[in-house]
Chain A
Protein backbone atom coordinates (compact mmCIF):
# COMPACT_ATOMS: atom_id res chain seq x y z
CA UNK A 1 0.00 0.00 0.00
CA UNK A 2 1.19 3.48 -0.81
CA UNK A 3 0.96 5.78 2.15
CA UNK A 4 -1.66 8.50 1.79
CA UNK A 5 1.07 11.07 2.22
CA UNK A 6 4.10 9.36 0.71
CA UNK A 7 6.86 11.94 0.43
CA UNK A 8 8.01 10.57 -2.95
CA UNK A 9 4.77 11.94 -4.47
CA UNK A 10 5.73 15.50 -3.62
CA UNK A 11 6.58 18.00 -6.33
CA UNK A 12 8.35 21.34 -5.99
CA UNK A 13 6.93 23.96 -3.66
CA UNK A 14 4.23 25.64 -5.78
CA UNK A 15 4.39 29.33 -6.62
CA UNK A 16 2.37 31.84 -4.67
CA UNK A 17 3.15 30.75 -1.09
CA UNK A 18 5.31 32.90 1.13
CA UNK A 19 6.73 31.34 4.27
CA UNK A 20 5.75 34.19 6.62
CA UNK A 21 2.17 34.10 5.41
CA UNK A 22 2.10 30.32 5.79
CA UNK A 23 3.41 30.56 9.35
CA UNK A 24 0.83 33.18 10.23
CA UNK A 25 -1.89 30.89 8.89
CA UNK A 26 -0.69 27.95 11.00
CA UNK A 27 -0.48 30.12 14.11
CA UNK A 28 -4.00 31.37 13.50
CA UNK A 29 -5.33 27.83 13.07
CA UNK A 30 -3.59 26.88 16.32
CA UNK A 31 -5.07 29.85 18.16
CA UNK A 32 -8.61 29.05 16.97
CA UNK A 33 -8.13 25.48 18.21
CA UNK A 34 -6.62 26.61 21.53
CA UNK A 35 -9.44 29.05 22.15
CA UNK A 36 -12.19 26.61 21.12
CA UNK A 37 -13.28 29.07 18.44
CA UNK A 38 -15.15 26.40 16.52
CA UNK A 39 -16.71 28.67 13.89
CA UNK A 40 -13.45 30.30 12.86
CA UNK A 41 -11.61 26.99 12.93
CA UNK A 42 -14.21 25.20 10.82
CA UNK A 43 -14.22 28.04 8.26
CA UNK A 44 -10.54 27.39 7.48
CA UNK A 45 -11.28 24.04 5.85
CA UNK A 46 -11.82 23.31 2.15
CA UNK A 47 -14.77 21.21 1.00
CA UNK A 48 -12.50 18.20 0.37
CA UNK A 49 -11.02 18.47 3.86
CA UNK A 50 -9.35 15.60 5.66
CA UNK A 51 -8.50 15.78 9.37
CA UNK A 52 -6.59 12.68 10.43
CA UNK A 53 -5.05 11.46 13.67
CA UNK A 54 -3.72 7.94 13.09
CA UNK A 55 -3.35 5.33 15.85
CA UNK A 56 -0.81 2.54 16.14
CA UNK A 57 1.67 4.08 13.71
CA UNK A 58 2.08 7.09 11.44
CA UNK A 59 1.41 5.44 8.10
CA UNK A 60 -1.46 3.06 8.74
CA UNK A 61 -4.09 2.43 6.06
CA UNK A 62 -6.97 4.63 7.28
CA UNK A 63 -9.58 2.75 5.28
CA UNK A 64 -8.82 -0.66 6.75
CA UNK A 65 -7.41 0.31 10.15
CA UNK A 66 -8.91 2.35 12.96
CA UNK A 67 -7.65 5.90 13.60
CA UNK A 68 -8.32 8.25 16.50
CA UNK A 69 -9.83 10.72 14.03
CA UNK A 70 -10.40 10.37 10.28
CA UNK A 71 -12.84 13.15 9.45
CA UNK A 72 -13.94 14.31 6.05
CA UNK A 73 -15.58 17.73 5.75
CA UNK A 74 -18.97 16.29 6.64
CA UNK A 75 -17.72 14.65 9.81
CA UNK A 76 -15.80 17.75 10.83
CA UNK A 77 -19.13 19.53 10.59
CA UNK A 78 -20.85 16.88 12.72
CA UNK A 79 -18.06 17.07 15.30
CA UNK A 80 -18.43 20.84 15.49
CA UNK A 81 -22.21 20.65 15.74
CA UNK A 82 -21.91 18.21 18.60
CA UNK A 83 -19.51 20.34 20.59
CA UNK A 84 -21.59 23.48 19.97
CA UNK A 85 -24.54 21.86 21.76
CA UNK A 86 -22.66 22.46 24.99
CA UNK A 87 -23.48 18.87 25.96
CA UNK A 88 -20.48 17.20 24.41
CA UNK A 89 -19.39 16.42 27.97
CA UNK A 90 -15.85 15.42 27.00
CA UNK A 91 -15.49 19.11 26.00
CA UNK A 92 -18.09 20.69 28.29
CA UNK A 93 -16.55 22.45 30.03
CA UNK A 94 -13.92 22.85 27.31
CA UNK A 95 -10.24 22.12 27.93
CA UNK A 96 -7.91 25.02 28.63
CA UNK A 97 -5.23 24.80 25.98
CA UNK A 98 -2.09 26.40 24.61
CA UNK A 99 0.21 24.98 21.99
CA UNK A 100 3.53 25.87 20.41
CA UNK A 101 4.22 25.12 16.75
CA UNK A 102 7.80 24.97 15.54
CA UNK A 103 10.23 23.50 13.02
CA UNK A 104 7.96 24.69 10.23
CA UNK A 105 9.15 23.46 6.83
CA UNK A 106 7.68 23.89 3.38
CA UNK A 107 7.95 20.30 2.22
CA UNK A 108 6.76 20.61 -1.36
CA UNK A 109 3.68 20.54 -3.49
CA UNK A 110 1.05 17.83 -3.83
CA UNK A 111 -1.43 17.48 -6.70
CA UNK A 112 -5.02 17.71 -5.51
CA UNK A 113 -8.21 16.35 -7.04
CA UNK A 114 -9.13 19.75 -8.38
CA UNK A 115 -6.16 19.88 -10.74
CA UNK A 116 -4.12 22.27 -8.62
CA UNK A 117 -1.12 21.80 -6.40
CA UNK A 118 -1.45 22.18 -2.62
CA UNK A 119 1.43 23.35 -0.48
CA UNK A 120 2.54 20.66 1.96
CA UNK A 121 3.94 21.93 5.23
CA UNK A 122 5.44 20.01 8.12
CA UNK A 123 5.71 21.21 11.71
CA UNK A 124 6.20 19.91 15.23
CA UNK A 125 3.96 20.85 18.13
CA UNK A 126 3.59 20.66 21.87
CA UNK A 127 0.14 21.26 23.33
CA UNK A 128 -0.60 21.70 27.00
CA UNK A 129 -4.11 20.73 28.04
CA UNK A 130 -5.71 21.36 31.40
CA UNK A 131 -9.01 19.95 32.57
CA UNK A 132 -10.38 18.63 35.81
CA UNK A 133 -9.00 15.17 35.01
CA UNK A 134 -5.52 16.71 35.16
CA UNK A 135 -2.90 18.25 32.90
CA UNK A 136 -1.80 16.55 29.73
CA UNK A 137 1.15 17.28 27.47
CA UNK A 138 0.52 16.30 23.86
CA UNK A 139 3.28 16.28 21.29
CA UNK A 140 3.70 15.29 17.68
CA UNK A 141 4.27 16.06 14.05
CA UNK A 142 1.66 17.73 11.87
CA UNK A 143 1.46 17.64 8.09
CA UNK A 144 -0.72 20.37 6.60
CA UNK A 145 -1.87 20.93 3.02
CA UNK A 146 -2.76 24.51 2.18
CA UNK A 147 -4.59 25.86 -0.85
CA UNK A 148 -5.29 29.40 -1.96
CA UNK A 149 -8.98 29.95 -2.68
CA UNK A 150 -10.19 33.41 -3.72
CA UNK A 151 -6.94 34.85 -2.45
CA UNK A 152 -7.22 33.32 1.02
CA UNK A 153 -5.21 30.43 2.42
CA UNK A 154 -7.36 27.43 3.34
CA UNK A 155 -6.68 24.11 5.01
CA UNK A 156 -7.28 21.01 2.87
CA UNK A 157 -5.53 18.42 5.01
CA UNK A 158 -4.20 18.12 8.52
CA UNK A 159 -2.59 14.93 9.73
CA UNK A 160 -1.46 14.85 13.34
CA UNK A 161 0.93 12.05 14.25
CA UNK A 162 1.07 11.90 18.03
CA UNK A 163 4.46 10.86 19.38
CA UNK A 164 2.72 8.30 21.62
CA UNK A 165 0.12 7.07 19.15
CA UNK A 166 1.20 3.48 19.79
CA UNK A 167 0.17 3.75 23.44
CA UNK A 168 -3.03 4.28 25.40
CA UNK A 169 -3.92 7.96 25.40
CA UNK A 170 -6.57 9.81 27.40
CA UNK A 171 -9.68 11.37 25.95
CA UNK A 172 -8.71 13.88 23.25
CA UNK A 173 -11.94 15.72 22.54
CA UNK A 174 -10.38 19.14 21.90
CA UNK A 175 -9.08 20.18 18.47
CA UNK A 176 -5.58 18.77 18.17
Chain B
Protein backbone atom coordinates (compact mmCIF):
# COMPACT_ATOMS: atom_id res chain seq x y z
CA UNK B 1 0.00 0.00 0.00
CA UNK B 2 2.86 2.37 0.85
CA UNK B 3 4.08 2.76 -2.69
CA UNK B 4 0.53 3.20 -3.90
CA UNK B 5 -0.21 5.92 -1.35
CA UNK B 6 2.97 7.77 -2.28
CA UNK B 7 1.55 7.93 -5.76
CA UNK B 8 -1.91 9.04 -4.64
CA UNK B 9 -1.18 11.62 -1.93
CA UNK B 10 1.06 14.57 -2.67
CA UNK B 11 1.50 17.79 -0.69
CA UNK B 12 -0.44 19.74 -3.31
CA UNK B 13 -2.83 17.17 -4.80
CA UNK B 14 -4.64 13.93 -3.98
CA UNK B 15 -5.93 11.31 -6.37
CA UNK B 16 -9.63 10.87 -7.10
CA UNK B 17 -9.49 7.12 -6.51
CA UNK B 18 -9.05 7.79 -2.78
CA UNK B 19 -12.78 8.58 -2.76
CA UNK B 20 -13.99 5.81 -5.04
CA UNK B 21 -11.80 2.73 -4.65
CA UNK B 22 -13.46 -0.12 -2.70
CA UNK B 23 -10.09 -1.57 -1.71
CA UNK B 24 -8.94 1.73 -0.25
CA UNK B 25 -12.20 2.00 1.69
CA UNK B 26 -11.69 -1.50 3.10
CA UNK B 27 -8.17 -0.50 4.09
CA UNK B 28 -9.47 2.68 5.77
CA UNK B 29 -11.88 0.65 7.88
CA UNK B 30 -9.02 -1.47 9.13
CA UNK B 31 -6.34 1.18 9.53
CA UNK B 32 -8.37 4.20 10.55
CA UNK B 33 -11.88 3.41 11.76
CA UNK B 34 -10.92 0.19 13.56
CA UNK B 35 -7.60 1.48 14.84
CA UNK B 36 -7.49 5.14 15.78
CA UNK B 37 -9.67 6.99 18.29
CA UNK B 38 -13.12 7.56 16.81
CA UNK B 39 -15.80 9.78 18.33
CA UNK B 40 -18.85 7.73 19.29
CA UNK B 41 -21.09 9.82 21.54
CA UNK B 42 -21.26 11.82 24.72
CA UNK B 43 -21.58 10.77 28.34
CA UNK B 44 -24.64 13.03 28.66
CA UNK B 45 -26.49 10.59 26.37
CA UNK B 46 -26.28 7.97 29.13
CA UNK B 47 -26.60 10.18 32.22
CA UNK B 48 -27.95 7.57 34.67
CA UNK B 49 -26.57 4.22 35.79
CA UNK B 50 -27.71 1.47 33.38
CA UNK B 51 -28.66 3.91 30.60
CA UNK B 52 -27.72 2.75 27.12
CA UNK B 53 -27.90 4.08 23.57
CA UNK B 54 -27.16 2.44 20.22
CA UNK B 55 -24.34 4.02 18.22
CA UNK B 56 -22.23 3.40 15.15
CA UNK B 57 -18.45 3.12 15.01
CA UNK B 58 -17.46 2.64 11.39
CA UNK B 59 -19.76 -0.13 10.19
CA UNK B 60 -20.14 -1.54 13.69
CA UNK B 61 -23.41 -1.55 15.64
CA UNK B 62 -22.27 -0.47 19.09
CA UNK B 63 -24.19 -0.15 22.35
CA UNK B 64 -22.87 2.62 24.58
CA UNK B 65 -23.74 1.65 28.14
CA UNK B 66 -23.18 3.11 31.57
CA UNK B 67 -22.78 0.39 34.17
CA UNK B 68 -24.04 0.54 37.75
CA UNK B 69 -20.72 2.01 38.88
CA UNK B 70 -20.87 4.79 36.30
CA UNK B 71 -18.29 3.45 33.86
CA UNK B 72 -19.05 3.81 30.12
CA UNK B 73 -18.62 0.78 27.83
CA UNK B 74 -18.91 0.26 24.09
CA UNK B 75 -20.37 -3.20 23.46
CA UNK B 76 -20.56 -4.77 20.03
CA UNK B 77 -24.15 -5.68 19.39
CA UNK B 78 -23.62 -9.37 18.72
CA UNK B 79 -24.47 -12.44 20.74
CA UNK B 80 -21.56 -14.74 21.56
CA UNK B 81 -23.75 -17.75 20.76
CA UNK B 82 -24.71 -17.44 17.11
CA UNK B 83 -24.01 -13.78 16.35
CA UNK B 84 -27.56 -12.48 16.59
CA UNK B 85 -28.26 -8.84 17.40
CA UNK B 86 -28.64 -8.61 21.16
CA UNK B 87 -30.01 -5.10 21.70
CA UNK B 88 -32.87 -3.95 19.46
CA UNK B 89 -34.01 -0.73 21.15
CA UNK B 90 -32.33 2.54 20.17
CA UNK B 91 -31.96 3.53 23.81
CA UNK B 92 -33.21 2.69 27.25
CA UNK B 93 -32.26 1.80 30.78
CA UNK B 94 -31.33 -1.73 31.71
CA UNK B 95 -28.60 -3.48 33.64
CA UNK B 96 -28.66 -6.41 31.26
CA UNK B 97 -29.52 -7.45 27.71
CA UNK B 98 -31.23 -10.61 26.61
CA UNK B 99 -30.65 -12.00 23.14
CA UNK B 100 -34.10 -12.79 21.72
CA UNK B 101 -32.85 -15.79 19.71
CA UNK B 102 -31.98 -18.31 22.46
CA UNK B 103 -32.33 -16.19 25.57
CA UNK B 104 -28.69 -15.65 26.46
CA UNK B 105 -28.29 -12.73 28.85
CA UNK B 106 -25.45 -10.25 29.31
CA UNK B 107 -24.63 -7.65 31.90
CA UNK B 108 -24.29 -4.13 30.47
CA UNK B 109 -20.54 -4.56 30.80
CA UNK B 110 -20.67 -7.32 28.18
CA UNK B 111 -20.19 -10.17 30.67
CA UNK B 112 -22.26 -13.32 29.96
CA UNK B 113 -24.80 -13.81 32.76
CA UNK B 114 -26.59 -16.94 31.69
CA UNK B 115 -28.05 -19.22 29.05
CA UNK B 116 -31.28 -21.23 29.23
CA UNK B 117 -31.31 -25.05 29.70
CA UNK B 118 -27.77 -24.81 30.98
CA UNK B 119 -27.23 -28.58 31.25
CA UNK B 120 -26.62 -28.46 27.51
CA UNK B 121 -23.35 -26.79 28.43
CA UNK B 122 -22.69 -28.87 31.55
CA UNK B 123 -24.29 -26.34 33.93
CA UNK B 124 -24.08 -22.66 34.82
CA UNK B 125 -21.03 -20.46 34.33
CA UNK B 126 -19.26 -22.94 32.08
CA UNK B 127 -18.69 -20.71 29.06
CA UNK B 128 -15.82 -18.26 28.70
CA UNK B 129 -17.83 -16.03 26.39
CA UNK B 130 -19.18 -12.49 26.40
CA UNK B 131 -20.26 -9.72 24.09
CA UNK B 132 -17.50 -8.12 22.07
CA UNK B 133 -16.24 -4.80 23.35
CA UNK B 134 -14.36 -1.89 21.88
CA UNK B 135 -11.11 -2.57 23.75
CA UNK B 136 -10.28 1.02 24.60
CA UNK B 137 -12.89 3.58 25.60
CA UNK B 138 -11.94 7.03 26.85
CA UNK B 139 -13.69 10.35 27.38
CA UNK B 140 -12.58 13.91 27.14
CA UNK B 141 -14.93 16.52 28.61
CA UNK B 142 -17.67 13.91 28.27
CA UNK B 143 -16.97 13.23 24.57
CA UNK B 144 -16.65 9.44 24.31
CA UNK B 145 -14.17 7.89 21.91
CA UNK B 146 -13.44 4.28 21.13
CA UNK B 147 -10.36 2.60 19.69
CA UNK B 148 -10.28 -0.97 18.42
CA UNK B 149 -6.51 -1.02 18.87
CA UNK B 150 -5.74 -2.65 22.21
CA UNK B 151 -2.57 -0.57 22.36
CA UNK B 152 -1.55 2.71 20.84
CA UNK B 153 -1.51 6.41 21.56
CA UNK B 154 -3.78 7.49 24.41
CA UNK B 155 -6.85 9.58 23.61
CA UNK B 156 -5.15 12.65 25.02
CA UNK B 157 -2.13 12.02 22.80
CA UNK B 158 -4.40 11.60 19.78
CA UNK B 159 -6.33 14.79 20.53
CA UNK B 160 -3.17 16.78 21.11
CA UNK B 161 -3.85 20.46 20.48
CA UNK B 162 -7.47 19.74 19.53
CA UNK B 163 -8.19 19.04 23.21
CA UNK B 164 -7.78 22.75 23.84
CA UNK B 165 -10.55 23.46 21.32
CA UNK B 166 -12.93 21.15 23.20
CA UNK B 167 -11.90 23.00 26.36
CA UNK B 168 -12.78 26.27 24.65
CA UNK B 169 -16.30 24.98 23.94
CA UNK B 170 -16.73 23.74 27.50
CA UNK B 171 -15.37 27.07 28.75
CA UNK B 172 -18.51 28.74 27.41
CA UNK B 173 -20.56 26.90 30.02
CA UNK B 174 -21.01 28.74 33.32
CA UNK B 175 -20.73 25.32 34.97
CA UNK B 176 -17.82 24.05 32.89
CA UNK B 177 -19.78 21.22 31.24
CA UNK B 178 -21.55 20.62 27.95
CA UNK B 179 -24.19 18.06 27.08
CA UNK B 180 -25.25 16.49 23.81
CA UNK B 181 -28.73 15.62 24.99
CA UNK B 182 -30.92 17.26 22.33
CA UNK B 183 -31.11 14.22 20.05
CA UNK B 184 -29.35 13.68 16.72
CA UNK B 185 -30.45 14.55 13.23
CA UNK B 186 -29.40 11.72 10.93
CA UNK B 187 -28.45 12.85 7.46
CA UNK B 188 -27.78 10.18 4.85
CA UNK B 189 -25.11 11.40 2.46
CA UNK B 190 -24.09 9.76 -0.80
CA UNK B 191 -20.46 10.80 -0.62
CA UNK B 192 -17.17 9.48 0.67
CA UNK B 193 -16.58 10.50 4.30
CA UNK B 194 -13.33 12.30 3.49
CA UNK B 195 -15.11 14.90 1.37
CA UNK B 196 -16.92 15.93 4.55
CA UNK B 197 -13.85 15.86 6.78
CA UNK B 198 -11.99 18.08 4.31
CA UNK B 199 -14.89 20.50 3.89
CA UNK B 200 -15.40 21.14 7.60
CA UNK B 201 -12.47 23.56 7.86
CA UNK B 202 -12.48 24.66 4.24
CA UNK B 203 -12.90 28.40 4.55
CA UNK B 204 -12.96 28.83 0.78
CA UNK B 205 -16.48 27.48 0.13
CA UNK B 206 -18.84 29.32 2.52
CA UNK B 207 -19.22 32.47 0.41
CA UNK B 208 -20.22 30.36 -2.58
CA UNK B 209 -22.16 27.41 -1.17
CA UNK B 210 -23.86 29.45 1.54
CA UNK B 211 -24.18 32.77 -0.24
CA UNK B 212 -27.93 32.19 -0.61
CA UNK B 213 -28.59 32.12 3.12
CA UNK B 214 -25.98 34.72 4.10
CA UNK B 215 -27.57 37.09 1.61
CA UNK B 216 -31.17 36.76 2.77
CA UNK B 217 -30.38 36.83 6.49
CA UNK B 218 -27.67 39.49 6.36
CA UNK B 219 -25.41 37.04 8.18
CA UNK B 220 -21.90 38.30 9.04
CA UNK B 221 -20.53 34.73 8.76
CA UNK B 222 -19.58 35.20 5.12
CA UNK B 223 -17.15 37.98 5.96
CA UNK B 224 -15.29 35.68 8.35
CA UNK B 225 -14.31 33.61 5.31
CA UNK B 226 -13.60 36.40 2.88
CA UNK B 227 -10.27 37.12 1.25
CA UNK B 228 -9.73 40.01 3.66
CA UNK B 229 -10.61 38.09 6.84
CA UNK B 230 -8.02 37.98 9.61
CA UNK B 231 -9.19 34.51 10.68
CA UNK B 232 -6.65 31.72 10.21
CA UNK B 233 -6.82 28.08 9.20
CA UNK B 234 -4.65 26.01 11.49
CA UNK B 235 -3.22 22.53 11.11
CA UNK B 236 -3.44 21.27 14.70
CA UNK B 237 -1.54 18.06 13.97
CA UNK B 238 -2.75 14.42 14.02
CA UNK B 239 -5.13 15.28 11.18
CA UNK B 240 -7.04 17.86 13.22
CA UNK B 241 -7.61 21.37 11.93
CA UNK B 242 -9.54 24.51 12.75
CA UNK B 243 -10.79 27.75 11.37
CA UNK B 244 -9.69 30.08 14.13
CA UNK B 245 -12.16 32.96 13.96
CA UNK B 246 -10.94 34.64 17.13
CA UNK B 247 -8.86 37.32 15.37
CA UNK B 248 -12.07 38.60 13.75
CA UNK B 249 -14.10 38.50 16.94
CA UNK B 250 -11.34 40.17 18.95
CA UNK B 251 -11.33 42.95 16.40
CA UNK B 252 -15.01 43.67 17.07
CA UNK B 253 -14.54 43.11 20.82
CA UNK B 254 -18.27 42.47 21.37
CA UNK B 255 -19.40 39.70 23.74
CA UNK B 256 -21.76 37.18 22.07
CA UNK B 257 -21.16 38.50 18.55
CA UNK B 258 -19.88 34.99 17.75
CA UNK B 259 -23.43 33.77 18.42
CA UNK B 260 -24.97 36.52 16.32
CA UNK B 261 -26.41 38.32 19.32
CA UNK B 262 -25.52 40.86 21.98
CA UNK B 263 -24.96 40.51 25.72
CA UNK B 264 -28.17 42.35 26.63
CA UNK B 265 -30.28 39.84 24.72
CA UNK B 266 -29.01 36.88 26.78
CA UNK B 267 -28.64 38.56 30.20
CA UNK B 268 -29.02 35.46 32.39
CA UNK B 269 -26.29 33.64 30.51
CA UNK B 270 -23.93 36.61 30.57
CA UNK B 271 -24.50 37.10 34.30
CA UNK B 272 -23.83 33.41 34.96
CA UNK B 273 -20.60 33.54 32.92
CA UNK B 274 -19.37 36.60 34.84
CA UNK B 275 -20.28 34.94 38.13
CA UNK B 276 -18.22 31.85 37.31
CA UNK B 277 -15.35 33.20 35.26
CA UNK B 278 -14.92 36.74 36.58
CA UNK B 279 -12.90 38.98 34.31
CA UNK B 280 -12.08 36.14 31.94
CA UNK B 281 -15.78 35.83 31.06
CA UNK B 282 -15.52 38.75 28.62
CA UNK B 283 -12.69 37.10 26.68
CA UNK B 284 -14.59 33.82 26.47
CA UNK B 285 -17.78 35.52 25.30
CA UNK B 286 -15.88 37.61 22.75
CA UNK B 287 -13.81 34.76 21.30
CA UNK B 288 -16.71 32.31 21.15
CA UNK B 289 -16.84 28.64 20.28
CA UNK B 290 -14.34 26.63 18.23
CA UNK B 291 -14.70 25.50 14.63
CA UNK B 292 -12.60 22.38 14.70
CA UNK B 293 -12.44 19.10 12.79
CA UNK B 294 -11.07 16.31 14.96
CA UNK B 295 -9.75 13.38 12.93
CA UNK B 296 -11.43 11.33 11.65
CA UNK B 297 -15.06 12.13 12.48
CA UNK B 298 -15.82 14.74 15.15
CA UNK B 299 -16.66 18.18 13.86
CA UNK B 300 -17.47 20.94 16.33
CA UNK B 301 -19.03 23.79 14.37
CA UNK B 302 -19.39 26.39 17.11
CA UNK B 303 -22.76 25.36 18.55
CA UNK B 304 -23.26 22.13 16.61
CA UNK B 305 -21.52 18.81 16.96
CA UNK B 306 -21.28 16.39 14.04
CA UNK B 307 -20.45 12.72 14.19
CA UNK B 308 -19.54 11.41 10.73
CA UNK B 309 -19.64 7.65 10.16
CA UNK B 310 -18.91 5.82 6.90
CA UNK B 311 -21.41 3.43 5.36
CA UNK B 312 -19.67 2.51 2.10
CA UNK B 313 -17.02 4.01 -0.14
CA UNK B 314 -19.59 6.41 -1.57
CA UNK B 315 -21.89 6.88 1.41
CA UNK B 316 -21.81 8.11 4.97
CA UNK B 317 -24.12 9.42 7.67
CA UNK B 318 -23.83 12.78 9.35
CA UNK B 319 -25.24 12.84 12.87
CA UNK B 320 -25.76 16.40 14.06
CA UNK B 321 -26.94 17.92 17.30
CA UNK B 322 -26.98 21.21 19.18
CA UNK B 323 -24.52 21.77 22.01
CA UNK B 324 -26.19 22.36 25.35
CA UNK B 325 -24.19 24.37 27.89
CA UNK B 326 -24.64 23.42 31.53
CA UNK B 327 -26.03 26.55 33.16
CA UNK B 328 -26.52 28.07 29.72
CA UNK B 329 -29.99 29.35 30.54
CA UNK B 330 -31.83 30.97 27.65
CA UNK B 331 -28.91 30.26 25.31
CA UNK B 332 -29.65 26.53 25.15
CA UNK B 333 -33.07 26.82 23.51
CA UNK B 334 -31.69 29.34 21.08
CA UNK B 335 -28.88 26.95 20.20
CA UNK B 336 -31.43 24.24 19.44
CA UNK B 337 -33.53 26.58 17.33
CA UNK B 338 -30.51 27.86 15.40
CA UNK B 339 -29.25 24.33 14.86
CA UNK B 340 -32.59 23.16 13.47
CA UNK B 341 -32.46 26.04 11.01
CA UNK B 342 -28.89 25.31 9.98
CA UNK B 343 -28.14 21.59 9.99
CA UNK B 344 -29.68 18.25 9.15
CA UNK B 345 -31.55 17.11 6.02
CA UNK B 346 -33.48 20.38 5.62
CA UNK B 347 -30.92 22.73 7.19
CA UNK B 348 -30.38 26.01 5.42
CA UNK B 349 -26.61 25.47 5.58
CA UNK B 350 -25.93 21.75 5.72
CA UNK B 351 -28.39 20.65 3.05
CA UNK B 352 -26.34 22.76 0.64
CA UNK B 353 -23.03 21.40 1.91
CA UNK B 354 -24.44 17.92 1.50
CA UNK B 355 -25.60 18.69 -2.03
CA UNK B 356 -21.98 19.67 -2.74
CA UNK B 357 -20.63 16.47 -1.18
CA UNK B 358 -22.92 14.39 -3.37
CA UNK B 359 -22.12 16.31 -6.53
CA UNK B 360 -18.44 16.09 -5.61
CA UNK B 361 -18.72 12.31 -5.30
CA UNK B 362 -20.20 12.11 -8.79
CA UNK B 363 -17.47 14.43 -9.98
CA UNK B 364 -14.59 12.33 -8.67
CA UNK B 365 -16.11 9.26 -10.32
CA UNK B 366 -15.41 10.81 -13.71
CA UNK B 367 -12.04 9.95 -15.17
CA UNK B 368 -10.06 13.12 -15.66
CA UNK B 369 -8.28 15.30 -14.62
CA UNK B 370 -7.89 12.51 -11.96
CA UNK B 371 -6.55 14.79 -9.20
CA UNK B 372 -8.05 17.07 -6.56
CA UNK B 373 -5.96 20.17 -6.05
CA UNK B 374 -5.13 21.04 -2.42
CA UNK B 375 -2.41 23.60 -2.98
CA UNK B 376 -4.38 26.73 -2.11
CA UNK B 377 -2.23 28.91 0.16
CA UNK B 378 0.71 26.50 0.21
CA UNK B 379 3.05 29.33 -0.82
CA UNK B 380 1.92 31.61 2.01
CA UNK B 381 1.73 29.22 4.95
CA UNK B 382 3.39 30.33 8.16
CA UNK B 383 4.25 28.81 11.50
CA UNK B 384 2.50 30.39 14.48
CA UNK B 385 3.96 31.10 17.93
CA UNK B 386 3.06 27.57 19.08
CA UNK B 387 4.68 25.87 16.10
CA UNK B 388 1.49 25.08 14.17
CA UNK B 389 1.22 25.62 10.44
CA UNK B 390 -1.36 28.29 9.61
CA UNK B 391 -2.88 29.68 6.45
CA UNK B 392 -5.34 32.44 5.78
CA UNK B 393 -9.10 32.04 6.32
CA UNK B 394 -9.58 30.54 2.84
CA UNK B 395 -6.47 28.37 2.53
CA UNK B 396 -6.41 24.58 2.32
CA UNK B 397 -4.03 24.19 5.26
CA UNK B 398 -6.53 22.00 7.13
CA UNK B 399 -6.91 19.58 4.22
CA UNK B 400 -3.15 19.20 3.89
CA UNK B 401 -2.95 18.38 7.59
CA UNK B 402 -5.74 15.83 7.18
CA UNK B 403 -3.96 14.07 4.32
CA UNK B 404 -0.58 14.02 6.02
CA UNK B 405 -2.06 12.18 9.01
CA UNK B 406 -4.21 9.95 6.81
CA UNK B 407 -1.11 8.82 4.96
CA UNK B 408 0.71 8.06 8.20
CA UNK B 409 -2.13 5.83 9.43
CA UNK B 410 -2.67 4.09 6.10
CA UNK B 411 1.03 3.30 5.76
CA UNK B 412 1.29 1.86 9.27
Contacts and interface: CB of A to CB of B under 8 A. Distances in A.
Interface of A: 53, 55-56, 60, 63-71, 75, 78-79, 81-83, 85-90, 132-134, 166-173, 176
Interface of B: 90, 182-190, 209, 211-213, 215-217, 317, 320-322, 333, 336-337, 339-341, 344-346, 348, 351-352, 354-356, 358-359, 362
Contacts of A168: 186-188, 317
Contacts of B351: 90, 171-173
B345 A82 contact: no
A84 B337 CA distance: 23
Contact of A167 (B186, B190, B362): B186
Contacts of B183: 55-56, 60, 65-66
A55 B321 CA distance: 11
Contacts of B354: 90, 171
Output the residue of A64, A71, A168 with the most chain B CB within 10 A: A168
Given A66-B344, A170-B187, 20 more contacts: A56-B184, A64-B182, A64-B333, A65-B183, A65-B336, A66-B321, A66-B339, A68-B185, A71-B341, A75-B341, A89-B355, A166-B90, A169-B187, A169-B345, A171-B346, A171-B355, A172-B346, A173-B351, A173-B355, A176-B346
Contacts of B344: 55, 66, 68
6 residue pairs, one from A and one from B, having the closest CB atoms: A168-B186, A90-B351, A81-B216, A87-B212, A168-B188, A85-B212
Output the residue of A70, A133, A166, A172 with the most chain B CB within 10 A: A133
B348 A82 contact: yes
Given A66-B336, A67-B340, A169-B187, A90 B355 contact: yes
Contacts of B189: 170
21 contacts: A64-B333, A65-B183, A66-B183, A66-B320, A66-B340, A66-B344, A68-B185, A70-B337, A70-B340, A83-B212, A88-B213, A88-B352, A89-B209, A89-B356, A133-B358, A168-B188, A169-B345, A170-B187, A172-B351, A173-B345, A173-B351
